[in-house]
Structure formats: C-alpha cells, structure tokens
C-alpha cells in the first residue's frame, strides 16, 4: 500500500507540474487540466488493464481542454494532440488486453512521438524555411536512431557472443518413444515460443510418486514465473528485435537445463 501511495503521489506531482507549465497561456484552464492529468497517478493503484482505462480517462479530457480552449496557442494545441493520441491508445488498449494484445502500452513513447509530430505539423505556422529546418531535423533524428540501434546491436553481440545452438538433453528422460516425443514437444513449445503450460503439465504429471507436490512446485517455479523481457517497440529496428528474440530463447533454454538437472536427481 505504501509503494502504491508513493507511486500515486509521484505521478500526481509530475502531471500536475506538466500542466501548470502552460498556465501563462491558458490561465485557469491549466488548473483544471492539471487535475485531469494528475488522475493518471491513480492508475498506480490498479493493475492491468484497469489502469489503462484510468489513464485514458485522465488524458482524454485534458487533451480536449488544450484543443478546444478558445485562447490557446499552437503549442497548446500541439500538446492537446499528443495527449489525445496517448489517451486514445490507452482507451483502445483496454478491450484489446483481454485478447492478450499489449502492443500499444509497450510502445507508448512512439505513440506520443507520432501525436506530437502530428500536432506540430497541424498547428505550427510553418514558412518554407521552417519546413527545411524540420526536414533537416527529421533526417538528423533518423540518423541518430539508426546509429544508436546499430551501436546497441554491436554492444549486445560483443557482450553476449554468438547464441549457441540449443540442445534438449532428454535422452535419458524415458525409454518409450511417445514419452520422449511428448517431452521434446513440451520443451520445444517453451524454448521456441515461450509457452509454459505444456512443460509444466508434463513434469507434474510424470513426477515419481514419492516426489511431493511441494518439490514439484519448487522445481517448476522458475518456469511458471518466467516473463519475457521487453523486446522494444515499433521504433526498434528488425535486426535488434531478432537479437532480443534470440537472447530470450537462450534464456528459456537455460531455464530448461536447470529444470532437467533438478528432475534428474529425483
């Protein structure tokens, strides 16, 4: 409860300050917008997906305040567009989460970036010279993105080395062909796709009778609690995404080897 309260207060202060920065341009509307934005901190009390709905209810009204206020300037309207994109993304993510789709929240920085660019292009009073500056800036950002991605890829390769081929040490796990085939299928589902249930069910079902449920649960804990690390967003280049996937596959393979070492001692 204490951690949730600290998370709420921290988010409340951040969003409240962000809105009050625009007080000179918006007057009293900044106070109202800050209240809506600060509601985003309440999402700290909720897990997924209810937190998405709370954030949507915080971002969307504040975006309309920035967009529809009659005395706003181009910067306020651009900020409103950014908030509108983010709020809409959270609102769409709420029903999609039931189907296991968590794409938008994982890429919210990219959504905010797109919203900011759309707001800038829609409301900033560009001249021909300004468009040249914007084009140069976008090219520079693209070059920085590519160089950063390549540098990160090279660094990860240097520190981790080549991903070694994954072997399934299942030769001694049983004598019957169908038993070995089921074991290989369960291991393959987890290592290649990250599906945990077939492997967990296989080990639990075929554990010796003298092995207690507690020992089985302890052996399977690392498999059951496994969660893939963040693989980046849609701004992550394909070669870096592929490296993330290889590292996750190697990580799952290591968990299987540890599990088999434990099972072999039963």
Q: What is the DSSP string of 175-234?
A: SSHHHHHHHHHHHHHHHHH---HHHHHHHHHHS-TTS-HHHHHHHHHHHHT--PPP---T
Average confidence (pLDDT) over 24-37: 57
Q: Answer yes or no: are the C-beta atoms of 194 and 213 closer than 8 Å.
A: no
Burial of 183 (0-12, 13-18, 19+ CB in 10 A): buried
Q: What confidence tens digit (pLDDT) does each residue in 50-63 have? A: 777 777 877 787 78
Given a cut of 60, whether residue 133 has pLDDT beyond it is yes
Locate 145 and state its tokens: 């993105």
- Which residue is listed with tokens 């290592």? 191
Q: Answer yes or no: are the C-beta atoms of 222 and 259 closer than 8 Å.
A: yes
Q: Answer yes or no: are the C-beta atoms of 263 and 203 closer than 8 Å.
A: yes
The residue among 225, 227, 177, 186 whose CA lies nearest residue 205 is: 186
Q: What whole-number distance in Å separates Cα of residue 184 and Cα of residue 182?
A: 5
Given a cut of 80, whether residue 90 has pLDDT beyond it is yes
Q: What confidence tens digit (pLDDT) does each residue in 152-162 have? A: 555 555 554 44
Q: What confidence tens digit (pLDDT) does each residue in 182-235 have? A: 788 888 888 888 888 888 888 888 788 788 888 888 888 888 888 877 655 555
- Domain map of the chain by residue range? 2-125, 177-264
How many residues are there in the chain?
266
Given a cut of 50, whether residue 143 has pLDDT beyond it is yes
The residue among 109, 77, 111, 110 whose CA lies nearest residue 92 is: 111
Q: What whole-number distance in Å separates Cα of residue 166 and Cα of residue 185?
A: 14
The residue among 52, 109, 117 whose CA lies nearest residue 79 is: 117
Q: What whole-number distance in Å separates Cα of residue 41 and Cα of residue 31?
A: 16
Given a cut of 50, whether residue 16 has pLDDT beyond it is yes
Given a cut of 70, whether residue 144 has pLDDT beyond it is no
The residue among 172, 175, 177, 196 whose CA lies nearest residue 186 is: 196
Q: What confidence tens digit (pLDDT) does each residue in 166-186 have? A: 444 444 444 456 667 778 888
pTM of the shown model: 0.46
Q: Can you give the pLDDT at residue 14?
A: 57
Mean pLDDT over the full length of the chain: 70
Locate 3 and state its tokens: 């951690």
Name residues whose C-beta falls within 8 Å of residue 151's C-beta, 6 or more positions apart in sequence: none
């Amino acid at each position: 409860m204490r951690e949730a309260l600290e998370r709420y207060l921290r988010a409340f202060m951040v969003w409240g300050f962000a809105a009050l920065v625009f007080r000179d341009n918006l007057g009293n509307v900044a106070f109202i917008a800050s209240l809506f934005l600060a509601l985003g901190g309440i999402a700290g009390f909720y897990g997924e997906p209810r937190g998405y709905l709370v954030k949507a209810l915080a971002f969307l009204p504040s975006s309309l305040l920035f967009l529809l206020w009659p005395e706003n300037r181009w910067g306020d309207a651009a900020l409103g567009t950014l908030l509108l994109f983010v709020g809409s993304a959270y609102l769409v993510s709420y029903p999609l989460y039931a189907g296991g789709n968590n794409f938008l929240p994982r890429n919210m920085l990219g959504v905010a970036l797109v919203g900011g660019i759309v707001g800038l292009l829609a409301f900033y009073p560009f001249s021909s010279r300004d468009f040249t500056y914007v084009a140069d800036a976008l090219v520079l950002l693209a070059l920085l993105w590519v160089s950063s991605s390549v540098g990160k890829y090279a660094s990860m390769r240097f520190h981790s080395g080549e991903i070694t081929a994954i072997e399934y040490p299942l030769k001694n796990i049983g004598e019957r062909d169908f038993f070995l085939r089921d074991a290989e299928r369960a291991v393959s589902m987890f290592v290649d796709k990250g599906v945990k249930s077939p492997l967990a069910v296989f080990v639990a079902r075929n554990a010796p009778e003298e092995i207690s449920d507690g020992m089985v649960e302890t052996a399977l804990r690392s498999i059951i609690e496994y969660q893939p690390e963040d693989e980046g967003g849609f701004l992550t280049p394909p070669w870096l995404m592929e490296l993330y996937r290889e590292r996750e596959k190697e990580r799952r393979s290591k968990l299987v080897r540890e599990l088999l070492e434990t099972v072999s001692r039963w």
